[in-house]
């Protein structure tokens, strides 16, 4: 019952793994929202990614092909959303919710023959002697490829949004789509590409659950991870590095409370278990006032449909 | 946001009934709705109920039409679903989770002609509310014995869902019997506050193994902990259905929920007009609680011991909660030879002596 029975190195390594699915989904959604689109279908895209990635890796025997399939599947589901909201001008909130419902049902259908199968194992990357180093070996060099991919995506997104022409165009579209349009930027094309990117990331996050984290296919296995990812974007006030921080914080709270319990600590479990959701609600409440929205730097055109009026 | 899916199992039968309307208006099938807390594909609690539903459907054929709504959260939403079922012509509704109690009783008062059946509940505020449950603690006593015999590290991990009497009862039953055969055994309980969250359950299993547990028990519905145990080489027990395929090497056995016979009996009574509200609690003797085949890793003498206990419970010569037993704080609960009454068990909110940790309030 001493604190020493929890190994902080193992704890950090575990929280990185626990946070990876929501991190991937959240960074994808961040790009989508930076482009001014609110896609509430993250959960649906994640679970379709989870089942597609699972099915593909079981069929081909390669977890990496599975991950690739998950990206494609997530993007395809996102494409439905893109067509609905960007071309048919449907309401984004309703379309996003519908996408989640669709994804959950569709994945259950796809996954019927994959229940109870063990997927091919995703090996941890081998860094040679680096992986055997004390402390840093396990934290920095002891993971599977997707943990590093997720970090690279965060870094890449940050760099791309801030330092490239494409990133600035995307932000301009998200801040004020009328001005961006007037300047000659293709608002719809940018948004559709952003939505596809978000779908790919969410799909990959879902595949991480079914291939590495759990690893198996079960109906409804994302169990709300997509909603946490959505909240994370707001929590991070649309900044990539804060998404990373938030994801590790949420993942950390979850892993820490489970480990504290397992080690026999008396902790108020119920409060810790609900804390990610409480924080989410709080952030959303703050968000609902316009002034706070500006101070949190929400993209100006977030959630508004764009109709090129001449 | 959870998926909600209304699935009529025999839409074709409906169509037939419509075309053959002249044949028999009175013969329209009895409509029986089921409300599930999780997906039928969880291979756990909901899967077991759905197997019971399918057994009933097969038994009655076209005389009965069953349908279900899955992933219904406990709370006001459940009442909405029940109302929807009632308005769409259901004659009988089985609600299969503890937390549906208030919603079910409210709906029952509004639809007095419908027979409401509530699994694992305790509220009975209308004459058309019937309660049914299974004595899972009998199963937990058996797997507790096996775990106590087979642990090498003397640390047993227990993944618990919510701190309700049903779960506390299971922890106590498992602990008492593990302790009986292995006085050094230590239980580590992790509450995940969910019935079904594969990622969370997997993380809980990992945390427990990290803390030295070499056997994991679960009172949650997904198969994720078993996958983790298979990978890490820890032993485990399945929940609600035979989960061997998820962990062939380490799945010792599983407590099976066998609801089919009860569903068939109650639906038959409704068909005969003989249905009346009851409060039943069946277990191993009636076959409602059963076991998956024992893994060959369980030594023969332990298998024999477990089978002897199953037999003793079946013939009602042994009750898993038989004194002397003390509560966690050391105060006396049951005297030598005294058997716990059902009321105490159904309201159980305390650990027995020897368990560490606290039940979250």
Q: What is the CATH number of the domain that holds A176?
A: 1.10.3470
Q: State mean pLDDT over A28-41.
A: 95
For residue A86, the surrounding DSSP H or E stretch is none
Looking at the predicted structure, is the pLDDT value of residue A115 above 50? yes
Q: Any residues with CB less than 8 A from the CB of B255 and at least 6 apart, and which?
A: B136, B139, B140, B142, B143, B237, B238, B239, B240, B289, B290, B291
Tokens of B344: 């105490």
> Do the chains contact at A220 and B38, CB–CB below 8 Å?
yes
- B2·A116 Cβ contact <8 A: no
User: Does residue A307 form part of some domain?
Assistant: no
Contacts of B206 in chain A (CB under 8 A): 14
Query: Nearest CA of chain B to the CA of A130: how many Å?
Result: 23
Pairing of strands B279-282, B129-134: parallel
| Residues in contact with B133: Cβ distance below 8 Å, sequence separation at least 6, in sequence order | B119, B120, B121, B166, B280, B281, B282
Contact B232, B209 (CB under 8 A): yes
Reading the block at residue A185, the tokens are: 């930027």
Nearest-Cα distance to chain B for A275, in Å, is 12
A220 contacts on B by Cβ (under 8 Å): 2-3, 38-39, 41-42, 71, 196
Q: How many distinct structural domains can be found in chain A?
A: 1
Q: How far apart are CA A243 and CA A19, in angstroms?
A: 11
The shortest CB-CB distance from B198 to any of A5, A111, A218 is to A218
A113 touches chain B (CB under 8 A): no
Separation CA A32–CA A96 (nearest Å)? 12
Domain of residue A136 covers 3-295
CB B229 within 8 A of CB B259: no
Task: Answer whether B139's CB lies under 8 Å from B287's CB.
Answer: no
Q: State the nearest Cα–Cα gap between A56 and chain B, in angstroms.
A: 19
Residue A306 resides in a domain? no
Tokens matching residue A120: 């091919």
Instruction: Please give, rounded to a whole number of angstroms, the shortest distance from the CA of A265 to a CA of chain B.
Output: 7
Nearest CA in chain A to B71: A220
- Tell me which chain A residues have a C-beta less than 8 angstroms from the C-beta of B43: 115-116, 218
Considering only the beta carbons, identify the residue of B40, B193, B357 that sits closest to A264: B357
When CB atoms are compared, the residue of A1, A223, A259 closest to B207 is A259
Whether residue A310 lies inside any domain: the answer is no
Sign for the pseudo-dihedral over CA of B218, B220, B221, B222: negative
Does residue A152 lie in a domain region? yes
Residue A309 in domain: no
What is the full per-residue pLDDT of chain B (361 aa) written as tens digits? Answer: 344 444 444 433 444 444 433 334 456 899 999 999 988 888 889 999 999 999 999 999 999 999 999 889 888 899 999 999 999 999 999 999 989 999 999 999 999 999 999 998 888 999 999 999 999 999 999 999 999 999 999 999 999 999 999 999 999 999 999 999 999 999 999 999 888 888 889 999 999 998 899 999 999 988 899 989 998 899 999 998 899 988 899 999 999 999 999 999 999 999 999 999 999 999 999 999 999 999 999 999 999 999 999 999 999 999 999 989 999 999 999 999 999 999 899 889 999 999 988 888 7
In this complex, the residue of A214, A254, A263 whose CB is nearest that of residue B224 is A214
Return the residue in A24, A206, A261 with the most chain B beta carbons within 10 A, the one to mutate for interface testing.
A261
Residue A86 included in any domain: yes
CA distance B161 to chain A (A): 11
Q: Identify which of B41, B207, B227 has the shortest CB distance to residue A262.
A: B207
Q: Which domains does chain B have, with CATH numbers?
A: 6-134 (3.40.50.2300), 136-257+290-346 (3.40.50.2300)
Chain B hits for A101, Cβ within 8 Å: 1, 3-4
A43 in contact with B, Cβ within 8 Å: yes
Backbone angles phi and psi of B35, in degrees to 5: -115, 120
On whether residue A305 sits in a domain, the answer given is: no
Report the candidate in A283, A220, A217 with the shortest Cα–Cα distance to residue A250.
A283
Find the angle CA(A109)-CA(A112)-CA(A117) to the nearest 5 degrees: 145
User: Best interface-test mutation with B: which of A218, A224, A230, A252 has the largest number of B CBs within 10 A?
Assistant: A218
pTM of the model: 0.83
């Amino acid at each position: 019952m001493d604190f020493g029975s929890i190994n902080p190195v193992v704890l950090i390594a575990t929280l990185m793994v626990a946070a990876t699915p929501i991190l991937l989904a959240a960074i994808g959604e961040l790009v989508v929202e930076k482009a001014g689109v609110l896609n509430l279908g993250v959960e649906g895209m994640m679970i379709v990614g989870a089942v597609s990635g699972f099915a593909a890796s079981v069929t081909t025997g390669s977890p990496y092909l599975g991950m690739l399939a998950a990206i494609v599947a997530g993007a395809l589901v996102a494409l439905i959303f893109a067509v609905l909201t960007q071309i048919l001008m449907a309401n984004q909130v309703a379309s996003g919710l519908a996408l989640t419902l669709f994804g959950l049902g569709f994945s259950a259908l796809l996954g019927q023959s994959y229940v109870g199968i063990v997927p091919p194992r995703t090996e941890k990357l081998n860094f040679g002697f680096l992986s055997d180093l004390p402390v840093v070996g396990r934290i920095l060099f002891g993971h599977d490829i997707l943990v590093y991919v997720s970090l690279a995506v965060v870094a890449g997104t940050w760099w791309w949004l801030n330092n490239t022409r494409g990133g600035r165009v995307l932000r301009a579209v998200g801040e004020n789509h009328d001005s961006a349009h007037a300047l000659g930027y293709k608002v719809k094309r940018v948004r559709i590409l952003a939505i596809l990117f978000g779908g790919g990331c969410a799909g990959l996050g879902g595949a991480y659950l079914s291939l590495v984290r759990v690893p198996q296919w079960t109906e409804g296995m994302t169990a709300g991870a997509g909603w946490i990812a959505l909240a994370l974007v707001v929590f991070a006030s649309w900044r990539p590095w804060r998404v990373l921080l938030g994801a590790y914080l949420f993942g950390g709270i979850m892993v820490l409370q489970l480990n504290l319990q397992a080690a026999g600590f008396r902790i108020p479990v119920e409060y810790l278990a609900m804390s990610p959701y409480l924080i989410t609600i709080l952030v959303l409440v703050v968000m609902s006032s316009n002034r706070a929205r500006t101070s949190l730097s929400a993209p100006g055109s977030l959630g508004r449909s764009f109709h090129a009026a001449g | 946001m959870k998926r909600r899916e209304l699935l009529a199992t025999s839409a074709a039968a409906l169509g037939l009934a419509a075309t053959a309307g002249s044949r028999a208006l009175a013969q329209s099938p009895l409509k029986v709705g089921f409300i599930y807390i999780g997906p039928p594909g969880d291979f756990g609690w909901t899967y077991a109920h759905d197997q019971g539903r399918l057994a009933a459907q097969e038994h009655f054929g076209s005389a009965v039409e069953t349908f279900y709504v899955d992933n219904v959260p406990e709370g006001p939403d459940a009442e909405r679903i029940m109302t929807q079922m009632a308005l769409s012509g259901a004659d009988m509704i089985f609600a299969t989770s503890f937390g549906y109690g208030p919603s079910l009783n409210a709906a029952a008062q509004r639809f007095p002609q419908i027979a409401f059946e509530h699994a694992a509940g305790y509220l009975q505020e209308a004459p058309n509310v019937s309660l049914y449950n299974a004595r899972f603690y009998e199963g937990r006593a058996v797997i507790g014995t096996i775990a106590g015999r087979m642990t090498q590290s003397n640390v047993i991990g227990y993944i618990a869902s919510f701190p309700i009497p049903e779960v506390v009862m299971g922890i106590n039953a498992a602990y008492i019997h593990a302790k009986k055969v292995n006085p050094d055994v230590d239980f580590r309980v992790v509450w995940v506050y969910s019935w079904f969250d594969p990622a969370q359950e997997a993380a809980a299993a990992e945390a427990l193994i990290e803390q030295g547990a070499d056997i994991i028990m679960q009172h949650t519905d997904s198969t994720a902990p078993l996958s983790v145990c298979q990978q890490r080489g820890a032993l485990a027990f399945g929940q609600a259905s035979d989960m061997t395929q998820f962990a062939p090497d380490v799945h010792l056995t599983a407590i099976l929920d066998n609801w089919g016979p009860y569903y068939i009996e109650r639906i038959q009574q409704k068909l005969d007009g003989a249905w009346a509200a009851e409060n039943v609690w069946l277990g191993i003797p009636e076959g409602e609680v059963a076991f998956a085949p024992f893994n060959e890793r369980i030594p023969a003498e332990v298998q024999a011991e477990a089978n002897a206990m199953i037999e003793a419970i079946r013939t009602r010569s042994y009750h898993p909660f038989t004194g002397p037993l003390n509560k966690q704080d050391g105060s006396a609960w049951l005297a030598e030879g005294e058997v716990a009454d059902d009321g105490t068990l159904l309201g159980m909110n305390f650990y027995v002596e020897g368990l560490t940790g606290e039940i979250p309030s």
